[in-house]
Every structure is written in structure tokens, then in C-alpha cells.
């Protein structure tokens, strides 16, 4: 695939809303409670053998700088007002004037393995983000998408768009026939924007065909707000690990951090709104200890509730928010379900069934699976979850938007496994300790300290190899 000439397809990030919905919901909450908190973000490449050339890195730098030119359009604002009604007016007013400032907030460096000065020199690259949390929170998704695009624009170029729409249609039909409720979650590691648009065309075709023929599954939405607006599909998303990581870093108290993060979330959006909880930031067992607690009020307190640099006028109290029949409502009762994003899904389903049963919660809750899914895994996890009495849905990402073969050989052209995680908040390390050790991030000393403090137990899982989640370059394509 030759990109050296002019291309008929859009390159880079073309819309303010070309991001995942949970970045907007978290920015809304950050604006309300932590608008003066300074943070850093760090880039991690879990497939370190996939490097960039100097030419690819320069393209990436150019596209990053262009992010500063993107603003929310009037049509996009109206879409948010009409569709995402949980985003409050102060936040939407903030977005009207909001601009990214990548030249000041992003540091990008390239270190060639053998520096000849050539554009073809291969090397490691580093991306770091620094600034106020509320000003920098939106960088994660476009930076990841642009990095992936740079790699497949300059490094692995032996591929074409041919068949992508039909492939997505076929995947969608198989999932619908199996009764799966599926959302598209593929922005972060897409091959490029055009690929994601082709995938949407295929999924939209499958959605219409499934509705016409009465298939049991459904295409329920997408995490990408821009494509949701463009294709008339609901935007899907609630919260990411970042929210829990940030609140924990600010408080320094990891035993109560999850409870505080949940309290702020419910206070910002209300009971039952954006009600899918992400469980694995510090391990699901630790999360569940807080999830079963009564919902607490967020009350005015002295500035600097967490630290001198992180002033907030509100903090969770120990007073229940609401009481029904003499019993305080819990987060577990109010949230509609949970999202599984690391570790062994079968163990997770059993853990959640045991948890809800022990808490006496009779409502049928939802489990959203979102960890490196394909068709076979969706079908497998659906049976496990359905049999346990849950509503089951899936957020399918990279399998949709970066599923290619090398044109010359027909063998796999695998995605990059890349992430950007919160590195610090108000000068304190921010860490993530998931249900799979391969997904842990942050300062190693802090990780080990918190593991001991929380009584975290490492668990092995055969599907947990982060370097090979989507196969290996050169493998034969599975039919």
C-alpha cells in the first residue's frame, strides 16, 4: 500500500468527537471535582518489536500538532446536548471554548538504533503528556490511534482496504446469529480512520439485515462519538481505569480510593446513569469490597481535601445518600452491571454471581466483556455469562478495526498492542493493578507497596500474554 502520493482517504484525526465516549464523561467529572489537578501520562508499547522509522515519527509529530486545530463544531455540540444528556451544562459550555495545546502539553522523542540521519532509520519513540488533568485527558485516544496509523502507513505497508467492509459484515452477522449484543470499541488501535468507517458500513449492513430477518443479537452502539453521530448509532461508554487511578493517586489511600471514586461518579451523573462499573483497576476482589458499600454523599469540605496541589471543595462523606425501607442503597444495587477487562472471564463470572447472591441482589445485572475479543470468545463468554443469569454484552475493538493480512503472502498483519496510562496526579504515582499481571502499569515500587497493602493475589491465566493477544506476524490467517 503506497501512501507516498496523495491519498483519497482522510488521514489522522478529523473531528473533536473522534474519541471514545468515556473520555468525555471522565472529563466532565474531572472538571467538576479536580479542575486544578496536574497530571502526567505515559505511553507503553506491549509489542516492542514494532518500532517506527524517523519518517513515521515525523508524520506522527505533525498529526499530533494538528490536534491543536480541532474544535467542537456546532453540530457536534448539538449532538452531545441531544444524545448525551448526562453531560451537564457547565461541561458543555466548557467544551465550546476548549482547545488542546499539544505543542505545550506533549513531549515526543525518537531514538534511532543506528543513527544515519536517514528517514529510514528505525528506533524507539516516547510520548509523554503533562498538564492539568481536565486539559489533557482527551489525548489518550487520538495519540494511540495516530501511533497505530503511523506504523501501518510507513512500517507495515503490505496491505489494502479490500474486503474490510464485507469482513466486518460477516463478523457482525455471525455475532448476531449467535445472539450477541455487540458494541464497536476499536478506535484506539484502529489501522486508520478509513478502516473504522469501512467497518461501520459493514456492521450497519449487518444491523439492518439482522433486524430485517429477526436475528437474536444486536449491534448496540460504538465507543467512538464521531462515528456514532455520523452513522446514527448510540455512543457507548462509562468510565475507564484512569478515573480510579487518578482518585487513588490523589488520596494516597488505596483502601478507600475505589469507594471515593464511585461516590464522585454517582454524585456527578446520578443513580443508575452511566451505570456500568469497571472492576479491575486494583483487582476485582478489592473493587467488590467498595461496590457493596452504601452510596455516600459528596459534601463540601475544606480546600485541599487530597493534597495541597489538588484542591477540591467537595469530598465523599460517611453519610448514606439514600435509604429505602430502612436500608441504605449500595453501589452494587444501583449500578446496572460491570465490565470485565482483564483476567479469566470464567472466574470473573463466577465471582460476580457469588457476589450478587451474597449481597441479596435479585435484579438481573449486566456483564460487559471488552478484553481482546473475537467471535469465538464472544460466543464462549456469552454462554458462561448467560448460564450464570446475567445479561451479556460485548465491546469488540481491535478484532474489528485492525484485522488484516499481508497482501503478498496472505499471512497475518498484526496490530500494535499500545496503551497510554495516567502516570501521576498531583505529583503522586498513578498505578493500575489489573486481574492480569501483563496489564499492570505504573511505578514498580508503588505497585508492590499497594499489592501488599491490599492483599492482592497474582493469578495466572492462559490467555494473558499481552504481546500476542492478536497472534503473530506471518501466521496463517484463520478461516
Cβ atoms of 418 and 409 within 8 Å: the answer is no
pLDDT of residue 299: 72
Mean pLDDT of 299-328: 58
φ/ψ of 413, rounded to 5, equals -115, 100
The H-assigned helical ranges of 396-443 are 398-401
* 3-state SS assignment for residue 120: coil
φ/ψ of 38, rounded to 5, equals -95, 140
Residue 322: pLDDT band by 50, 70, 90 thresholds? low
Within a domain: residue 80? yes
Tell me, what CATH number does 48's domain have?
A: 3.20.140.10
pTM: 0.93
The H-assigned helical ranges of 214-273 are 225-231, 241-251, 257-269
* 3-state SS assignment for residue 477: coil
Within a domain: residue 206? no
Does residue 363 register a pLDDT over 60? yes
Within a domain: residue 39? yes
The cell 529510514 sits on which residue? Answer: 120
The tens digit of pLDDT for each residue in 69-102 reads 999 999 999 999 999 999 999 999 999 999 999 9
Order of strands, edge to edge, in the sheet holding 366-369?
Answer: 218-222, 181-184, 391-396, 366-369, 337-340, 276-278
Within a domain: residue 187? no
Within a domain: residue 452? yes
Mean pLDDT of 329-351: 96
- 439 or 222, higher pLDDT: 222
Residue 233: pLDDT band by 50, 70, 90 thresholds? very high
Domain containing 82 equals 21-160+416-468
The tens digit of pLDDT for each residue in 94-120 reads 999 999 999 999 999 999 999 999 999
pLDDT of residue 313: 63
Q: What average pLDDT is seen over the chain? A: 91
Measured CA to CA in angstroms, residue 380 lies from 328, 349, 384, 387 at distances of: 37, 12, 7, 11
Mean pLDDT of 240-247: 97
Does residue 395 register a pLDDT over 50? yes
Q: Which is it for strands 314-320 and 52-53: parallel, antiparallel or unpaired? A: unpaired
pLDDT of residue 320: 64
Residue 2: pLDDT band by 50, 70, 90 thresholds? very low
The tens digit of pLDDT for each residue in 256-265 reads 999 999 999 9
Within a domain: residue 192? no
The tens digit of pLDDT for each residue in 130-151 reads 999 999 999 999 999 999 999 9
Mean pLDDT of 35-40: 97
The tens digit of pLDDT for each residue in 398-425 reads 999 999 999 999 999 999 999 999 999 9
Q: What is the dihedral of CA 348, 351, 355, 356, to 10 degrees?
A: 50
Cβ atoms of 202 and 164 within 8 Å: the answer is yes
Give CA–CA dist 165/244, Å, rounded: 37
Within a domain: residue 228? no
Mean pLDDT of 44-63: 96
pLDDT of residue 303: 41
pLDDT of residue 307: 43
Q: What is the dihedral of CA 244, 245, 246, 252, to 10 degrees?
A: 100
Within a domain: residue 203? no
Does residue 317 register a pLDDT over 90? no
Cβ atoms of 154 and 125 within 8 Å: the answer is no
Residue 1: pLDDT band by 50, 70, 90 thresholds? very low
**Cα angle at 358 between 355 and 362, to 5 degrees?**
90
Give CA–CA dist 54/403, Å, rounded: 26
Give CA–CA dist 474/138, Å, rounded: 35
Residue closest to 201 by CA, chosen among 230, 234, 178: 230
pLDDT of residue 214: 98
φ/ψ of 247, rounded to 5, equals -65, -40
Determine the longest span between alpha carbons in the chain, in angstroms: 74
Q: Which is it for strands 296-300 and 314-320: parallel, antiparallel or unpaired? A: antiparallel
Residue 318: pLDDT band by 50, 70, 90 thresholds? low
Q: Which long-range contacts (CB under 8 A, 24 or more apart) does 447-453 make?
A: 450/254, 450/282, 453/254, 453/255
Mean pLDDT of 176-200: 97
Give CA–CA dist 410/159, Å, rounded: 9
Count structural domains, the chain.
Answer: 1
Amino acid at each position: 500500500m503506497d501512501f507516498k502520493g496523495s491519498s483519497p482517504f482522510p488521514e489522522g484525526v478529523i473531528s473533536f468527537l473522534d474519541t471514545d465516549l468515556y473520555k468525555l464523561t471522565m472529563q466532565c467529572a474531572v472538571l467538576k471535582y479536580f479542575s486544578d489537578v496536574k497530571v502526567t501520562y505515559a505511553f507503553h508499547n506491549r509489542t516492542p518489536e514494532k518500532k517506527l522509522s524517523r519518517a513515521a515519527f515525523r508524520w506522527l509529530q505533525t498529526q499530533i500538532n494538528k490536534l491543536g486545530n480541532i474544535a467542537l463544531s456546532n453540530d457536534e455540540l448539538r449532538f452531545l446536548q441531544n444524545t448525551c444528556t448526562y453531560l451537564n451544562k457547565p461541561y458543555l459550555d466548557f467544551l465550546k471554548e476548549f482547545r488542546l495545546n499539544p505543542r505545550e502539553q506533549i513531549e515526543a522523542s525518537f531514538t534511532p538504533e543506528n543513527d544515519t540521519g536517514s528517514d529510514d532509520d528505525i528506533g524507539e519513540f516516547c510520548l509523554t503528556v503533562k498538564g492539568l488533568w481536565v486539559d489533557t485527558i482527551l489525548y489518550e485516544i487520538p495519540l494511540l490511534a495516530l501511533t497505530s496509523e503511523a506504523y501501518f502507513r510507513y512500517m507495515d505497508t503490505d496491505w489494502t482496504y479490500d474486503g474490510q467492509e464485507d469482513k466486518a459484515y460477516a463478523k457482525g452477522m455471525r455475532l448476531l446469529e449467535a445472539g450477541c449484543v455487540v458494541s464497536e470499541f476499536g478506535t484506539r488501535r484502529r489501522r486508520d480512520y478509513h478502516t473504522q468507517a469501512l467497518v461501520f458500513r459493514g456492521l450497519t449492513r449487518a444491523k439492518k439485515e439482522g433486524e430485517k430477518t429477526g436475528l437474536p443479537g444486536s449491534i448496540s452502539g460504538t465507543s467512538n462519538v464521531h462515528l456514532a453521530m455520523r452513522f446514527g448509532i448510540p455512543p457507548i461508554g462509562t468510565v475507564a481505569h484512569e478515573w480510579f487511578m487518578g482518585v487513588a493517586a490523589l488520596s494516597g489511600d488505596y483502601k478507600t480510593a475505589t469507594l471515593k471514586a464511585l461516590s464522585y461518579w454517582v454524585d456527578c451523573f446520578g443513580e443508575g446513569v452511566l451505570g456500568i462499573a469497571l472492576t479491575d483497576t486494583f483487582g476485582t476482589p478489592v473493587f467488590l469490597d467498595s461496590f457493596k458499600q452504601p452510596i455516600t454523599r459528596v459534601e463540601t469540605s475544606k480546600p485541599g481535601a487530597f493534597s495541597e496541589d489538588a484542591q477540591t471543595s467537595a469530598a465523599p462523606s460517611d453519610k448514606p445518600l439514600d435509604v429505602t425501607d430502612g436500608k441504605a442503597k449500595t453501589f452494587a444495587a444501583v449500578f446496572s452491571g460491570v465490565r470485565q477487562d482483564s483476567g479469566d472471564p470464567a472466574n470473573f463470572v463466577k465471582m460476580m454471581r457469588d457476589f450478587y447472591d451474597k449481597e441479596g441482589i435479585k435484579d438481573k445485572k449486566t456483564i460487559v466483556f471488552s478484553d481482546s475479543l473475537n467471535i469465538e470468545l464472544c460466543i464462549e463468554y456469552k454462554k458462561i455469562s448467560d448460564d450464570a443469569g446475567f445479561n451479556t454484552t460485548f465491546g469488540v475493538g481491535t478484532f474489528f478495526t485492525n484485522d488484516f493480512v499481508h497482501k503478498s503472502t496472505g499471512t497475518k498483519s498484526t496490530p500494535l498492542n499500545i496503551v497510554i496510562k495516567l502516570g501521576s496526579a498531583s505529583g503522586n504515582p498513578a498505578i493500575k493493578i489489573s486481574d492480569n499481571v501483563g496489564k499492570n502499569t505504573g511505578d514498580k515500587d508503588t505497585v508492590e507497596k499497594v499489592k501488599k497493602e491490599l492483599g492482592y493475589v497474582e493469578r495466572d491465566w492462559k490467555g494473558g500474554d499481552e504481546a500476542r493477544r492478536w497472534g503473530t506476524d506471518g501466521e496463517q490467517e484463520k478461516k
